[in-house]
Amino acid sequence: YVHYDHACGRCRYCLDGDEAACAEYEVMGVQRDGGYAELVVAPAGNIFPLPPGLSAQTAAAAGSVYLTAHHMLFARAGLRAGETVLVTAGGSGVGGAAIALARMAGARVIATASTEEKRERLRAAGVEHVVDYTQPGWPDEVRALAGGGVDVAVEHVGGAAFPGALAALANRGRIVICGATSGSGTEIDLVDVFARQASIIGSSAGSRRELVGVLRLLADGLLAPPVITPVL
């Protein structure tokens, strides 16, 4: 498995195992070439042997999205068993990974999706409640389903979903964000944030230590990412 990150390896963040916080952090396919290459040269430290029983196809399907979701839920949000998690855009890669990891950790999961087809797929994947985020008032629906709000919200959509996900939090809830595909700008009611003691947490890529753990979960069959074979 070729990991996509590049960091200095010397700063306090790298030495602490949080390479994504490094000031020199770069990603293959973004700041560095190689994201779609058939062959690529990578540092030896970016090469990870696959655990026995884990196929290259499964590892390729899971590496980025499951690592991102794992870092969001556990390293950043500190998810605990029995908590309730809201996952926005549950039909996406990161969304699906967050759902699988949260359920594995013993959390209740509520997700949002825009179409009935996606909502049916999420219910089949074990999501307890699926909400249509295109409908007005969906944060209130989430709060009611969670019995007063969710403990953790996994948000990776951006401006279109962030305000609603923040509103769906319970008092002392945590919202962790890793993307802004729908726009990076939004308005926040600061009084609401401090009155409810909400935590807004940024998250980026997971560490190499976490990657080893994710690969182990995949090899043990505790996670099963969907692998879709394209029709040519």
Q: What is the pLDDT along the chain (232 residues), one digit of tens a residue?
A: 889 899 999 999 999 999 999 999 999 888 888 878 888 888 888 899 999 999 998 998 887 899 999 999 999 999 999 999 999 999 999 999 999 999 999 999 999 999 999 999 999 999 999 999 999 999 999 999 999 999 999 999 999 999 999 999 999 999 999 999 889 999 999 999 999 999 999 998 899 999 999 999 999 999 988 876 665 5
* pTM of the complete model: 0.93
E strand intervals along the chain:
5-6, 26-27, 84-87, 108-113, 129-132, 150-155, 169-177, 199-202
Q: How many CB atoms are located within 10 Å of the residue 208 CB?
A: 20
